[in-house]
Chain A
Amino acid sequence: MAIVDSNSIKTPSALNKYRGILIAVTLFLLFNLSVLGLNFYTSSTLDNDAVSINLSGRQRMMSQRTVKALMTIQVDAAQGQFNEKNTAELNKVTSLFDSTLTAFKAGGTVLGGNVKPVVLNQLTDTVAIKSVDQALQIWQPYKKLLAPLIVSKVVDEYTLDAATTYARNNNLALLKLMNDLTTTLENSTKAKASKLQLIQTIGLILSLILFANIVFNALRKLRASDGEIEKAQRETTEILNTVKEGLFLIDPQFNVGSQFSSSISKVLQHEISANMPFMPILGKLVSDEIYASAQDYITLLFGNKVKESLMLSLNPLMQVKVQANNYITPNNLSTRYLSFQFNRVVEDKRVLHLLVTVQDVTEQVTQAEELSKLKGQATINLGLLKKLLEADLFQLQQFLNNTKSGLASLNELLANADKRTSNNEDLAKLCFRIIHAIKGEAAAIGLDAIETHAHQFEEHLVALQKKDQWEAQEILSLPVMLSAMLEQMSQIETIVFAMKSHHQSISGAQPLSVSTSVANNLIRLAEQVSQNQQKNVQLKLNLALLDHIDSKTSNQLQQISIQLVRNGICHGIETTAIRLAKGKPAQGEIALSVNISPEGVMYFVVRDDGQGIVPSRIRAAMISSGRYAKDVVNQLSDKDIVKKLFEPGFTTANFADKDAGRGVGMDLVQSIVNTLGGELKIDTKPDQYTQFTFRISQHAAINIEATEALV
């Protein structure tokens, strides 16, 4: 589960997201502004046009007032009167008419209707110019004729007549021209106004289109982002529906958030809904103590004072045993284990939520518990008990004694491991020898459980032997395995003790003699091994003398026998098919005998009628096993090859099974012979026999006269 971090939630750039819309809106505004500007410009020219129309209209009036003033002066003059007012009126209207007309022609400032000066632009319209030009042609002579009348108070009749006549002749034309000008100007303004209207209409339409575009785009964007949100929500829901863990948020009020994984109800065994308070749910699951601790813990998490990493290590709900609830599986009342994990969801240093992950870890926990229970546990099963009941008590006692002393010396080896000069490999080998002997004996009396245990111990030792350096756990594994075997042995001891007292008190029967007991043991072993190896072997035993020697020696001879019988079956006796091919009896034979010479020297002889020890065959086997280099093997003499058989770890088997393959058997035999203080001689003939003869010197062990009470 990733740790939720506020930094990882990136705000997408708002600018980026809305760029399209922003551009469209800007364009829209720019466009509208320019249309507005154009409007402003056109309407200002229209204002100017209105002035022109006004003034051109005034010209019509002025032309008429000129005529009227002229007529009044003429009437006054006929009566011999003179009115200053009329001359002033004539002056005023002619100068206004003149300046206005000149301004129409060339542009200029004239007095407006309210006696304020207004600017009149030069005319551009050709029709209007033509009207003005024609008017000027009439006006210029008219103006000259009128000028003396304005200046002089004394009106000369001739001048007056000339002006009046000119006025009568041209007044209408002038009026018409000024009328034409007005009409032309009005028409041009109308045209401009309708052009403006057109521009405004087009602008409006265009801006509407732009606006529609903006709205459309914005909607599309919104819909797309809605879609994204929807998609994200759908994905979140999918995750929450499929995830196995319980996932939910809790807010600072300890309420469950609106979204949670669907498995949460199952994991917590409690129906969950949004805004449900979390603590009561927890209260039903865990003990009061843990509940209190969890409450403090969650409060601390929201406090955001203590570092998250530290908080993680303090989580009281890391692994909690929860009380079974009959919410989903009414019949399942077994305990469950849950693991809660809390992660802060931080924004601006404030803890907004806690992300809670809940896992059902029952399986892991119980598995680990069972494993640790199983590990090193001494298993006593019915099979073992049956074997113990069937076993020969004397053999069992022997086995217990041997095994106990074997394990003790193994422990001794472990305790003094660092005081020896030997390395780990040697230590493993020495331990191996002891365990191997125990395994052999266990197999002989049919204690499969012990044999299996010892076999596992052997395998472990083999693995360790290959390592130069042992880890702490590997060093520890040896006493742990030893402890397990000791535990098993002590259980067997208890049973054997009970059996013994039972045996004595109930039947009082005589126990078997040592020789019979050993014989039974070896026969059982031979049956087992030959069955495993799929061979047909019969033992021929002459062990009566064992009843007359000390128990230590007889015990050791039995151990030698176990190894040699096993070896004989595995390596000496051929399969039935091969034997028949060689012209030998189908059934192989291993003969064991204990004899004493007249000089008091004891001979222990083990002889099989198998393939013999043939150096060339051993060489070939060594090479084909892949454990030895060809040139090294070929350099060894026949004597060296036979010696090899007694070296620890020597084997030609490609794999080890319970019976053989570890290369420890002969090494063990040699070490027992050494402790007995005897000599070992090997005779062999290819395809005929192999014979091991132990010569045990008198002082070593034999005491024929003083027969011990053996049982």
Chain B
Amino acid sequence: MKLMIVDDSKIIRSRIARIMADATLPAIEIVGFAANGNDAISLFKATHPQVVTMDLTMPEMDGVECTTLLTELDSNVKILIISALSDKATAIQALKNGAEGFLYKPFTDAELINALLELIEE
């Protein structure tokens, strides 16, 4: 299963990648990283991932808008929102627009893996 990581924080991006590598989940293969919504859209078109982890507050295009566009491109894509802002309205927006999971920052390795597995299993 192909995974794309979208987060404006580089350390979060590499941390997620590292957790994926450590957990040795054979089912998941990271196909790319994006630091904002625009990059995420082009990367998505190029690589067609089935799973996306998505930050909410990002420059240029935020996570909610990006989620909406990605779902329009592929209604089957599974999107996990990862955000520190416990802004309920934004989270609900993202879920309404196609995201299926939500994870608060900061998260532990296990929390991320669980959230992703749950998302995939659905």
Contacts and interface: CB of A to CB of B under 8 A. Distances in A.
A295 B86 CA distance: 19
Contacts of B92: 293, 296-297, 300, 314, 316
Contact of B100 (A292, A299, A306, A316): A306
B87 to A, nearest CB: 10
A116 interface: no
B44 to A, nearest CB: 21
Interface string A299-315: 11000011100100111
Most buried by A among B102, B118, B122: B102
Contact of A293 (B86, B88, B101, B118): B88
B102 A316 contact: no
B100 A305 contact: yes
A313 B83 CA distance: 13
Question: Binding site of B, secondary structure by majority: helix, strand, loop or mixed?
Answer: helix
A289 interface: yes
B122 A293 contact: no
Interface in A264-321: 289-290, 292-293, 296-297, 299-300, 305-307, 310, 313-316, 318
Interface in B79-107: 86, 88-89, 91-93, 95-96, 100-102
Contacts of B101: 306, 310
A177 B88 CA distance: 113
A314 B91 contact: yes
A289 B96 CA distance: 15
Given A306-B95, A307-B118, A314-B95, A293 B100 contact: no
Interface residues of B, number: 13
Contacts of A297: 92
Give the contact-size bracket for chain A. 10 to 19
B6 to A, nearest CB: 19
A290 B92 CA distance: 11
B118 to A, nearest CB: 7
Nearest to B99: A306
Contacts of A306: 95, 100-102
A175 B122 CA distance: 99
A296 B86 CA distance: 17
Contacts of A314: 88, 91-92, 95, 102
Contact of B102 (A289, A296, A310, A318): A310
Contact of A300 (B86, B89, B96, B118): B96
B122 A289 contact: no
Nearest to B91: A314
Q: Which 9 A-B pairs have the closest CB atoms?
A: A293-B89, A296-B96, A316-B88, A296-B92, A314-B88, A297-B92, A314-B91, A310-B102, A300-B95
Given A296-B92, A299-B96, A306-B102, 9 more contacts: A293-B92, A300-B95, A300-B96, A305-B100, A305-B122, A310-B102, A314-B88, A314-B91, A316-B88
14 contacts: A290-B89, A296-B92, A300-B92, A300-B95, A300-B96, A305-B122, A306-B95, A306-B102, A307-B118, A310-B101, A313-B86, A315-B88, A316-B88, A316-B92
